[in-house]
Amino acid sequence: MIGKTTSHYRILEKLGEGGMGAVYKAEDTKLKRTVAIKFLPPEVTSDPEARERFVREAQAASSLDHPNVCTVHEIDSTADGQMFIVMACCEGESLKDRLQRGRLALREAVDIAAQAARGLARAHAKGIVHRDVKPGNIIVSDEGTVKIVDFGLAKPAGRTS
């Protein structure tokens, strides 16, 4: 995948992988910016429920405009039907990785929690429940800005399974 171009996105490196797909850092060749692209796994692409969940992630996250929520730019699919979502590339490290290095100072922990709470409050105000808030889905920049990522399990509030 590295070095290939999908739509107008040149794949630069793999950032990670989870249950709903692999995430890559890419260059948006039209707007000359760095983005993150999450691809739905090929074996899941044919599953209508998984495709719906992927679309729901894009719709939920794209309806949010908040400094503590990762911005979604686009959802599309490759020529062979593999779906992908294009998001802002949130530079920094996951809270999970940060915690593996050691305990947080009280002030830093409170600041991270407060920023995450503000992002989640915006989501909840829009009727969106993340449903998978965990240290691996919180990115902390070098400047201390928190971004909530991966709305893959998000649901509109009040919707039952």
Domain range for 26 is: 5-156
* Pair 57, 151: CB distance under 8 Å: yes
Cβ neighbour number for residue 27 with a 10 Å cutoff? 17
- List, for the chain, all residue ranges whose pLDDT scores fall below the cut of 50: 153, 160-161
pLDDT at 72: 87
> Does residue 108 form part of some domain?
yes
Q: What is the largest CA-CA distance in the chain?
A: 49
The residues assigned a catalytic role are 132
Instruction: Report which of 64, 63, 86, 90 is spatially closest to residue 75, judged by C-alpha positions.
Output: 86
pLDDT at 158: 55
Instruction: Give me 90's structure tokens.
Output: 């949130």
> Does residue 50 form part of some domain?
yes
Q: 56-79, pLDDT tens digit by residue?
A: 767 777 888 899 999 889 989 888
Q: 100-113, pLDDT tens digit by residue?
A: 999 999 999 999 99
The CATH number given to whatever domain includes residue 129 is 1.10.510.10
> Does residue 143 form part of some domain?
yes
Domain count, the chain: 1
Instruction: Give me 105's structure tokens.
Output: 């100072």
> Sign of dihedral through CA atoms 9, 10, 16, 19?
positive
